[in-house]
C-alpha cells in the first residue's frame, strides 16, 4: 500500500490519476489531500488533477522517468542497500572540493560513469565531490539551474537510485558528497506549482519573476517544502553537504529567515544521524553574518563561496578589468582578499554603484568558512564563449598554488587540474520553440551589450554547444597537461600533510608584493610561496634565507637577496 498526499489548500477537489483510472482524494488537514491505494507500490505511476486541471506531476515527486511534464512515479527510498555504515562523515570546512557537472564530466553524462572516476579523484587529493544540480530539468542537457522538481533526480543522469549508488560509492572510497540545490527560483518549463497552491508571491520580484513564497500567505508549507527537501537529501541519500544557490535571491522578511530555519533543522538532524552535515551558501552579499551562528543573530551557514577572492586572483593573472572585475587587479587587492576575505566590506563597489558588504573579523571568523577557487561553473560558463582562463601553464600553476596554500577551503572546477582545453558553455535543451528562442536571444543580447558580436555567442540550444563542453579525458596524460596535473597532485599532497598550510586563521597569513604586480610572496608559517607574475626572469626578494625548496613550477634558485625565478614561475620554500 502507498499513501498519496498533496498540498492544495484552495482546491475544491483533488483527484489521484493512475494509469488505470482516477480516484477522488479526501481533505486531510491544513490544506493537504490524501488517498491510500492498496495496489500502489514502488514503480507505480501517478499524477493529480486540481479542480479538473491536469494531470499534474506531484510537487514532491521523487521520480520523473518521462521528464518534467510526465507522470510521477512512486520511489521507495528505503529499497537501496547502503554499505557505508562505517562512514563517519566529514566537516567540509577545510576540505578539498571538486565541482563537477554530471552531464559533461564524462562522455556518457551519467552518475554511473562519473563513479568510474572516483579513484582518480581520491588519488588527486579531493575530499568532497561537489555535484551541480541534479533535480529534474527540461530536456536531456542543461546546467540544472532551471530545475522544476526539487525532490527527484534527472532521469538522463540515472534517476534517484543512481544517486544513492553514487553517494554510497563515494563514501566507500572516502569522499564526501555535496549537492547543489536551487531554492531561489524554479525553471519555467514544466513548472505547475502555482496550480496547487501559493508557492510564489508577488510581494517580491527576482530576476526570474515572482519570488518563491517565503513570507506571504501559505508560506509555512512552502518553507516546509524546501526544508523537507534539504533534510531528505541528508537522510535518504546520505549526502554530506548542500550548496545553496544564490541565497541573496531568497526574498524573506519573516522574523526567522529561511536559512536560519534550515540551519537549525540541519543541526538537529546532524545530532540524530551522528555525523556532520554542511550548508554551503553562494552569496553576493559579502556579509559574514551568513556564516555566523543562528543563536548569535547569524544565518548559520557552514561556509560560503568567496567571489571576491576569485576576482582578485583572476584579474591578477589575466589582466581583465571589465564588468564586475573593475575594482580588482591590483596586488594590494589580492592581498586584502587573501587575508580579509572580501574586498568590498563596506567600501564602494563601482560595479554595483554603492557601498557594499561588511568586514570579516579575524578574531571571530576562520578562513575555512569561505571557499576559494581559480574558477567554477559560473566564472567559466557565464563568460560569452564559456572559455576557461587563457593563461600559460605557469600562470595556471600560480593560481593553483595561491588557492591551495590559502587559509580558505579550496575548490577545483572539473578539468582545471590538467588545464583542460575544453570550454564549458551555457547550454539548454528546451522543447518549446518560444522558450528556446527567448533563451537564445536573451544570451546574445546580454553579451552584445558588452561589445560582443551576437553571431559569436554559442547557441545554447545547439547540441554542439553541450558536446564541446564535455571533458576530453585523453588530454590528461599529454604534455603540458600531465605536468600541470602532477603539480596539482603534489600541491594537494603537501597541503594534506602540512599543518602550516592547513591553518585557517586569517591572521596566520602574511603577504608581500611588488607595487607593479611583478611578484608576490605569501607566508604560511615556515613556508614561503614565491611567485613571479612577470613573463621574464626576475629576482623575488625574501625575508630570510631559504632552508630548502619544497617544490617549484619553473626554475627557482636562491640568491643573496631572494630567489631568481623564471617567468610565470612559482616555488615553495621553507625559511
What is the tens place of the pLDDT at every residue in 267-284?
A: 999 999 999 999 999 999
Domain pair 2-56 / 97-191+232-496, same fold = no
**Considering the chain, what is the average pLDDT of its residues?**
96
Q: Which CATH superfamily is domain 2-56 in?
A: Immunoglobulins (2.60.40.10)
Residue 448 has pLDDT above 80, yes or no: no
Residue ranges of the binding site for substrate: 243-248, 307-311, 377-382
Residue ranges of the binding site: 243-248, 307-311, 377-382
User: Taking the model in full, what pTM does it have?
Assistant: 0.97
Q: How far apart are CA 16 and CA 40, in angstroms?
A: 12
Confidence of residue 78 (pLDDT cuts 50, 70, 90): very high
Q: Which CATH superfamily is domain 509-574 in?
A: Golgi alpha-mannosidase II (2.60.40.1180)
Confidence of residue 379 (pLDDT cuts 50, 70, 90): very high
What percent of the chain stands above pLDDT 70? 100
Confidence of residue 471 (pLDDT cuts 50, 70, 90): very high
For residue 424, the model assigns a pLDDT of 97
Q: What is the mean pLDDT of residues 333-358?
A: 97
DSSP string, 144-158: STT-SBTTS--GGGT
What is the C-alpha radius of gyration for the chain, rounded to an integer number of angstroms?
25
Domain ranges across the chain:
2-56, 97-191+232-496, 509-574
Q: Are 24 and 52 in contact (CB under 8 A)?
A: no
For residue 4, the model assigns a pLDDT of 98
For residue 79, the model assigns a pLDDT of 96
For residue 250, the model assigns a pLDDT of 96
Q: Are 280 and 238 in contact (CB under 8 A)?
A: no
Q: What is the mean pLDDT of residues 441-456?
A: 81
C-alpha cell at 375: 574558477
Q: Are 119 and 175 in contact (CB under 8 A)?
A: no
For residue 373, the model assigns a pLDDT of 98
Q: How far apart are CA 286 and CA 101, in angstroms?
A: 26
Nearest to 369 by CA among 295, 296, 283, 311: 283
Q: What is the mean pLDDT of residues 448-455?
A: 76
Q: What is the mean pLDDT of residues 59-85?
A: 97
Confidence of residue 561 (pLDDT cuts 50, 70, 90): confident
Q: What is the mean pLDDT of residues 154-176?
A: 98
Nearest to 264 by CA among 216, 215, 233, 231: 231
What is the enclosing helix (H) or strand (E) of 563?
strand 562-565
C-alpha cell at 554: 619553473
What are the pLDDT digits (tens) for 196-238? 999 999 999 888 778 999 999 999 999 999 999 999 999 999 9
What is each CA distance from 231 to 93, 151, 239, 268, 273, in whole angstroms? Answer: 20, 11, 10, 10, 11
CATH code given to domain 97-191+232-496: 3.20.20.80
Annotated catalytic residues are: 245, 282
Angle, in degrees to the nearest 10, between helices 481-497 and 393-404:
10
For residue 456, the model assigns a pLDDT of 87
What are the pLDDT digits (tens) for 37-48? 999 999 999 999
Residue 475 has pLDDT above 80, yes or no: yes
For residue 29, the model assigns a pLDDT of 87
Residue 528 has pLDDT above 90, yes or no: yes
Amino acid at each position: 500500500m502507498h499513501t498519496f498526499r498533496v498540498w492544495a489548500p484552495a482546491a475544491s477537489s483533488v483527484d489521484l490519476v493512475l494509469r488505470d483510472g482516477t480516484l477522488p482524494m479526501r481533505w486531510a488537514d491544513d490544506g493537504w489531500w490524501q488517498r491510500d491505494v492498496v495496489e500502489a507500490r514502488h514503480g507505480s505511476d501517478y499524477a493529480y488533477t486540481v479542480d479538473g486541471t491536469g494531470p499534474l506531476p506531484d510537487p514532491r515527486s521523487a521520480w520523473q522517468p518521462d521528464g518534467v511534464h510526465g507522470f510521477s512515479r512512486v520511489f521507495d527510498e528505503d529499497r537501496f542497500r547502503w554499505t557505508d555504515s562505517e562512514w563517519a562523515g566529514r566537516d567540509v570546512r577545510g576540505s578539498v572540493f571538486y565541482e563537477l557537472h554530471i552531464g559533461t564530466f564524462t562522455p556518457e553524462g551519467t552518475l554511473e560513469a562519473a563513479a568510474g572516476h572516483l579513484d582518480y579523484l581520491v588519488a588527486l587529493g579531493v575530499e568532497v565531490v561537489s555535484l551541480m544540480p541534479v533535480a529534474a530539468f527540461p530536456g536531456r542537457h542543461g546546467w540544472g539551474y532551471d530545475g522544476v522538481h526539487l525532490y527527484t533526480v534527472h532521469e538522463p543522469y540515472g534517476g534517484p537510485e543512481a544517486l544513492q549508488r553514487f553517494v554510497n560509492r563515494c563514501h566507500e572510497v572516502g569522499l564526501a558528497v555535496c549537492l547543489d540545490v536551487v531554492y531561489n527560483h524554479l525553471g519555467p518549463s514544466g513548472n505547475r506549482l502555482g496550480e496547487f497552491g501559493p508557492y510564489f508571491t508577488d510581494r517580491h520580484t527576482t530576476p526570474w519573476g515572482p519570488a518563491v513564497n517565503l513570507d506571504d500567505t501559505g508560506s509555512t508549507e512552502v518553507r516546509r517544502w524546501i526544508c523537507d527537501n534539504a533534510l531528505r537529501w541528508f537522510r535518504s541519500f546520505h549526502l554530506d553537504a548542500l550548496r545553496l544557490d544564490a541565497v541573496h535571491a531568497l526574498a524573506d522578511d519573516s522574523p526567522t529567515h529561511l536559512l536560519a530555519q534550515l540551519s537549525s533543522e540541519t543541526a538537529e538532524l546532524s545530532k540524530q544521524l551522528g555525523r556532520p552535515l554542511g550548508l554551503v551558501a553562494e552569496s553576493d552579499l559579502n556579509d559574514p553574518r551568513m556564516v555566523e551562528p543562528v543563536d548569535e543573530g547569524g544565518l548559520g551557514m557552514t561556509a560560503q563561496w568567496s567571489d571576491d577572492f576569485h576576482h582578485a586572483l583572476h584579474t591578477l593573472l589575466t589582466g581583465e578589468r571589465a564588468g564586475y572585475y573593475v575594482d580588482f587587479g591590483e596586488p594590494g587587492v589580492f592581498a586584502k582578499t587573501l587575508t580579509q576575505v572580501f574586498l568590498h566590506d563596506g567600501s564602494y563597489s563601482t560595479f554595483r554603484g554603492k557601498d557594499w558588504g561588511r568586514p570579516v573579523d579575524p578574531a571571530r571568523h576562520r578562513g575555512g568558512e569561505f571557499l576559494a577557487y581559480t574558477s567554477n561553473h559560473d566564472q567559466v560558463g557565464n563568460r560569452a564563449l564559456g572559455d576557461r582562463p587563457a593563461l600559460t601553464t605557469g600562470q595556471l600553476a600560480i593560481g593553483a598554488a595561491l588557492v591551495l596554500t590559502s587559509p580558505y577551503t579550496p575548490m577545483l572546477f572539473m578539468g582545471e587540474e590538467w588545464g583542460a582545453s575544453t570550454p564549458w558553455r551555457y547550454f539548454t535543451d528546451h522543447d518549446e520553440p518560444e522558450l528556446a528562442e527567448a533563451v537564445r536571444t536573451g544570451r546574445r543580447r546580454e553579451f552584445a551589450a558588452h561589445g560582443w558580436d551576437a553571431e559569436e555567442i554559442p547557441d545554447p540550444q545547439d547540441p554542439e554547444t553541450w558536446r564541446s563542453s564535455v571533458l576530453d579525458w585523453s588530454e590528461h596524460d599529454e604534455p603540458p597537461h600531465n605536468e600541470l596535473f602532477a603539480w596539482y597532485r603534489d600541491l594537494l599532497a603537501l597541503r594534506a600533510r602540512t599543518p602550516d598550510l592547513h591553518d585557517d586563521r586569517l591572521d596566520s597569513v602574511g603577504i608581500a608584493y611588488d607595487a607593479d604586480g611583478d611578484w608576490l610572496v605569501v607566508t604560511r608559517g615556515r613556508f614561503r610561496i614565491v611567485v613571479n607574475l612577470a613573463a621574464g626572469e626576475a629576482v623575488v626578494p625574501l625575508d630570510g634565507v631559504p632552508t630548502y625548496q619544497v617544490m617549484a613550477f619553473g626554475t627557482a634558485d636562491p640568491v643573496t637577496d631572494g630567489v631568481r625565478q623564471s617567468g610565470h614561475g612559482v616555488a615553495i620554500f621553507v625559511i
